[in-house]
Amino acid sequence: MLYENNDSGRVKSNFPLLRQRAVLYSSTFNSRNTMARICAITGKRPTKGKIIHRKGQSKKSGGIGTHVTKHTTRLFRPNLQWINVKLPNGGSKRMWVSVKAIKAGLVQKA
């Protein structure tokens, strides 16, 4: 059960860290083939950031300084690899793993 009603009428979620969005947990969302680019070991995921556009000549090179003209939102995507990982029970499973986890030895390739 994802949500429970308590005495005060408020909805209590079993996922306290996630926002309560009924769309995410509906059967139509889960039935589609959706696979997030999230590391199975470290939990790294794409984060939102900005590209800052500047114009002008820097003071260091003799100008009056650069000025910000525009912000563009973008995604910083982690370096994830789709690899076969050896499981503790002896089997193997393909999953998204960040290169940082592979280099640190947190997973063993099958």
* pLDDT for residue 89: 93
* pLDDT for residue 35: 65
Residue 17 lies in a domain: yes
Give strand ranges (E) for 1-110. Answer: 3-5, 11-13, 47-55, 67-76, 80-86, 92-98
Which residue in 97, 94, 89 sits closest to 110, CA to CA? 94
Residue 59 lies in a domain: no
Residue 40 lies in a domain: no
User: Could you tell me where the DSSP H helices lie in the chain?
Assistant: 27-31, 99-103
- 16 is in which domain, residue-wise? 1-34
Show pLDDT as tens, one digit a residue, over the chain (110 residues).
445 555 655 555 454 444 444 334 444 444 444 568 999 999 999 999 999 999 999 999 999 999 999 999 999 999 999 999 999 999 999 999 999 999 999 999 98
User: Angle CA(29)–CA(34)–CA(40) in degrees, nearest 5?
Assistant: 120
Residue 14 lies in a domain: yes
Residue 28 lies in a domain: yes
Q: How many domains does the chain have?
A: 1
